[in-house]
Amino acid sequence: MSGRLRLFVYGTLQPQAGTRMARWIEARLVKAEAASVPGRLFAVQGGNGWFPALVPAKSGARVQGTLCELRLAPGDLARLDRYEGQEYRRTCLPVRTGRAGLVPAQVYLWRIALPPEAPAIGCGDFAGWLLQTRRRAFSSPRDGT
């Protein structure tokens, strides 16, 4: 796929996350704005740090992140899917923004059982949780990305 894609990111892919893949996203960024989706967030430890797991929630819980409009070249979406791995599935969800209200965007949802030791991130803000707990975001290369 090439062209433009709306992608909601809430963890290590956020342009401000400072990870290798965040810089990759930033290089393809057309515009970005703060946004949220319904769901609950958990922290999973792996590699050299932590990454978030977004799971659907029926309650009013929301996950904070960034709605990115990306300009993708052929193969870029497949690269993102490889980076996210088998633990996630990409789907379309309504994303709430401050300016546009609800807009459809691609989001990576956690698709396997959560590790029993995965802490819930009650505030729904992965970057804030990292700062508060003094933990590091996962940034290891993964699946060639």
* pLDDT of amino acid 17: 87
Name the phi and psi angles at 26, rounded to 5: -55, -35
* pLDDT of amino acid 143: 53
* pLDDT of amino acid 1: 59
- Over residues 62-84, the pLDDT tens digits come to 999 999 999 999 999 999 999 99
Residue with tokens 């932590």: 50
Confidence of residue 133 (pLDDT cuts 50, 70, 90): very high
- Over residues 94-109, the pLDDT tens digits come to 999 987 789 999 999 9
- Over residues 9-48, the pLDDT tens digits come to 999 899 888 888 999 999 999 999 999 999 999 999 988 8
Is the pLDDT confidence value at 5 over 90? yes
DSSP string, 66-120: EEEEEEE-TTHHHHHHHHH-TTEEEEEEEEEETTTEEEEEEEEEE-SPPPTT--B
Which domains does the chain carry? 3-133 (3.10.490.10)
